[in-house]
Amino acid sequence: MTYGGFMNIFTNDESSTGDRMNSYMVAASISKGRMARENPLSAAALEAVEASDIVVVRDIYDHVEQVLEALDVPFQAVAIEQFEQVALQPEQLLIINCPGHISSRDVEKVRSFVESGGTLFTTDWALRNVIEPAFPGVLEYNEHATADDVVRIEIVDSNSPYLAGVLETGDDPQWWLEGSSYPIRILDSEKVKVLIKSKELGNKYGEDPVAVVFPQGKGEVFHMISHYYLQRTEFRSDRHHMEASVLAAEKNISLDDETTAFMAGLKLGDVESAESSTRFIANIVADKKRKQSQS
């Protein structure tokens, strides 16, 4: 089992690696505290995750594993060139980072894994490199790459277990679009469910889905535009410029002394976007673990 370093994250100007790390440490503490209060069964499932439950395929552009590390969730990590040697099991969650250049043989392995009951999570260019060849006729890149940009996001289905606590009334998280991110065109609207969208994304780049999910055989596939680690945000309101401690107070979460120290110098806008993305992956991991336990 290996872990990555921490991700780049949200600022209007360059910040130190320490500040970026601190934002996600605080976000993870808030997310786990809220999950324990709002959904104890999911919180217990998250705590029960073992390294064998999650396989992360490392790649050069995205680092979803670093969100797992912030949440203190164990996982197995393999380099992209070692993926063909990995034996997947249906009870696992497989995360393939952008760009996801896997071989045609591995595309077949991914398809078989999902159809047997596995859960797949991919980001950005993996849309073309993994999703299109493995599951043709479901999603595709619309050939209109984004600029380096930041957009507001909206929840589509507030009753989805994957979106519990991701976005509440009054929240205003921003989602960073990597330059040359791939907008998601839905080809099978009956099969695909949009979880998170952005009107700004749709207006600028032709497609508004930010995060989608679809069933495939006995399994399930999640895909998100851009990188899961976010390099920057835009502070668009006075609220975004407030101290990060305000967000913890809004969520009614008491933080320990160590986490409180991480908040020093951070703004609410830094941590709010990190908390939304952290809670989303925590929900997916917890849901997979609960299903595994029930099978």
pLDDT, one tens digit per residue, over 40-79 is 999 999 999 999 999 999 987 887 888 899 999 999 999 9
Per-state percent for the chain, helix, strand, coil, to nearest 5 = 40, 20, 40
Q: How far is CA 288 from CA 35, 121, 180, 195, in A?
A: 15, 12, 31, 17
Q: What pLDDT is stored for residue 113 in this prediction?
A: 98
d(CA 201, CA 181) in angstroms, rounded, equals 11
Of the candidates 26, 60, 34, 56, which has an alpha carbon nearest to the alpha carbon of residue 274?
A: 26
Residues with Cβ within 8 Å of 87's Cβ and at least 6 positions away in sequence, in order, are: none
Q: What pLDDT is stored for residue 237 in this prediction?
A: 64
- Which residues in the chain belong to E strands, given as ranges? 54-58, 76-79, 93-96, 119-123, 139-141, 149-152, 154-155, 174-177, 184-186, 193-197, 209-216, 219-224
- Confidence bin at 269 (pLDDT 50/70/90): confident
Residue pair 162/284 in contact (Cβ under 8 Å)? The answer is yes
- Tell me which of 21 and 8 has the higher pLDDT: 21
pLDDT in tens, 176-224: 787 899 999 999 999 999 999 999 999 999 999 999 999 999 999 999 9
